[in-house]
Amino acid sequence: MNIKKEVGSKIKNLRIKNGFTQEKLSELLNISQRALSSIELGKNFITSDTLEKILNVFNIELEDLFATNAYKEPDELIKLININIAKICDNPYKLEIIYNLTKSLIR
């Protein structure tokens, strides 16, 4: 995924999570609904002014929007987790840590 699509997808997820329509968010950002749609689809990138407004509207930090590990699909996450586990499978200490971590998440 390229950065425009990834950031656009995060903005869309934030919009939906916060109950905003494209119309409402575009109004708050002072951009057209068409411009917001293009951003969410990864066709266009946000300007610095729009970026600042997005951070304020959603009360998030810049790092939250550009973190590359957010909003992955569950199937993709499982695949990546399994790849990481395969890399440490010969280390009982690290496997024990992974086991305890996953066990604690189930409780």
Per-residue pLDDT tens digits for 54-105: 999 999 989 888 876 556 678 888 998 999 999 999 999 999 999 999 999 8
Check residue 90 and give its pLDDT: 93
Taking residues 26-39, report their average pLDDT: 97
- The mean pLDDT of 7-35, rounded to a whole number, is 96
For residues 40-55, give the mean pLDDT. 95
Whether residue 51 is predicted with pLDDT greater than 90 in this model: the reply is yes
The secondary structure of residue 21, as a DSSP letter, is -
**Separation between Cα atoms, residue 8 and residue 86, nearest integer Å:** 32
Quickly state the pLDDT bin for 2 (edges 50, 70, 90): confident
Amino acid at 25: L
